Structure formats: C-alpha cells, structure tokens
Amino acid sequence: MDVYFITIFPDMFREALSAGMTGIAERTGAAAYHVVNLRDFAEDRYGSVDDYPYGGGPGMILMAPPLVRAVESVRSAEEGDDAPVILLSPCGAVFTQAKAHEFASKRSLVFICGRYKGVDERVRDLVVTESVSIGDYILSGGELAALVVTDAVIRCLPNVIGDERSRDTDSFSTEREFCLDAAYYTRPPEFRGLPVPETLVSGNHARIAQWREESARRRTELYRPDLIAKARLKGSNE
C-alpha cells in the first residue's frame, strides 16, 4: 500500500511512522509512505499556502490551488487514479474500525492534513473523496489525525502483526464489533496486594476463555455503555 501525506509539517511524519507496526510494514514492503510538502506547490516564491477568508473573520484558510495541484501530482503518479483522497477534519465522519478495514483494502491512500481555520471548500468539491474526523475535539491540524488513521489501517494489512490471532480479540474487532477487549495481567502474580485472578493461572483454557468473555462484557458495560445500545439497535434492524 502507498500512503501519501500532504502537509505543511513534513517533519512530523518520519519518526512517528518508523516506530512499531507502521515501521514494520515499511521495512517488510507492505507499505510505503510518501510525505508531500504542500509548500512545494505554492504559486509564489515565498511558499504561501494560506490566505484570509472571504467575508472576514479570524483565522487563515489553506488555499485551493496548492492543495489541488499537490493531490493531482500524487494521483498522476498513481496508475489507477482511484485512491481515496481523505481530508482530515473535525467536520468529517468519525473514524471507526470498519473504516480502517475499508481503507486497508485499497492500493493507495492520500491524506490531506488540514491546518489553520480550515481548507477552501473547493478542495472538497474538486478532489476530496471523503472527510474523516478522529473524534469530537479540535486538533491544531490533521497531521496527528492522519497518523492515527494510518496506524489503525496498517495493522489491518495481512502479515503486519506477528500473531494475527491477537487482532481478532481486540476491542472493536470483527469478533468484538460492539465490545471492548478483556482485562489482561502479566507477571508478577501479586502486586501491592492485588493478585492475578485465579482463573487466569488455572491452566484451564475453557474457563479462561469464559472469564475473558465475561470480563469484556463487564468492561463494555462499565466504560462504553453506548456500544451496548448500538449493538441492540443493529440487532433490531437486522
């Protein structure tokens, strides 16, 4: 998979992508990352990419011409030209695990990292295929959001996670679409008076599996009761 990031802060990406799963994916050839400096597509020699909003008001807006030209340069380098062009913005649809799987099935992805007060709306009209938010809060720009989405997508690719069974029980996995993962413990067997639950050290795999199901259900009820309501809604619509 080829992943393109269009940004005015190219330095934010290299270090972040080289760690963990995204780094493994790159080193094994499962993914290649291309960081595109938006200022290379500026129309003046100062590298200007933002301007005041028509109608006035505070904040600057990323201009359409450099952004559209940057996307076109990436897409013309692509064979199929059918890569999703994803604008990271608080005005997008909230990112989910289902979306991560959908993006993981693509040959390439193009991320536009918004900054300042936003991007000229004509960028959406001309090149953006969808807009994604990573939650209902405002970041200073789309770079961190693009990295979050990339991380979630890359771990869905085949042969990136060492033991893929681990992914099957993750929160929001196909097995646990509306459910958080169970609680986990590791050594020592007792810490500050808190022992590891007896079942987990019993060696009885059937009981352990049952304990984990129960733990996942309890944690979901406690921390994310909204997921249980969502699961019911989905069940009643099927």
Binding mask 140-159 for ligand ADE (x = CB under 6 A): --x--x--------------
Residues 134, 153, 160, 200: which binds ligand ADE (CB under 6 A)? 134
Query: Contact, 110 vs 4, CB < 8 A?
Result: yes
Task: Name the residue nearer to ligand ADE (CB basis): 144 or 156.
Answer: 144
Stretch that binds ligand ADE, among 62-70, 132-140, 162-170, 204-212 (CB under 6 A): 132-140
Instruction: Give yes or no for residue 128 binding ligand ADE (CB under 6 A).
Output: no
Q: What angle do CA 14, 18, 22 make, to 5 degrees?
A: 115
The token duo for 154 is 């890359």
Binds ligand ADE (CB under 6 A): choice among 114, 124, 147, 178: 114
Evaluate whether 167 touches 38 at the Cβ level (below 8 Å): no
Q: How far apart are CA 54 and CA 67, in angstroms?
A: 18
In angstroms, give the least distance from the CB of 146 to ligand ADE: 8
CB of 139 to ligand ADE, least distance (A): 4
Q: Which is nearer to ligand ADE, 135 or 189 (CB)?
A: 135
Instruction: Identify which of 58, 61, 1, 65 has the alpha carbon closest to the alpha carbon of residue 31.
Output: 1
Cα(7)–Cα(114) distance, integer angstroms: 8
Residue 127 binding ligand ADE, by CB under 6 A? no
CB 87 within 8 A of CB 119: yes
Among 38, 62, 119, 139, binds ligand ADE (CB under 6 A): 139
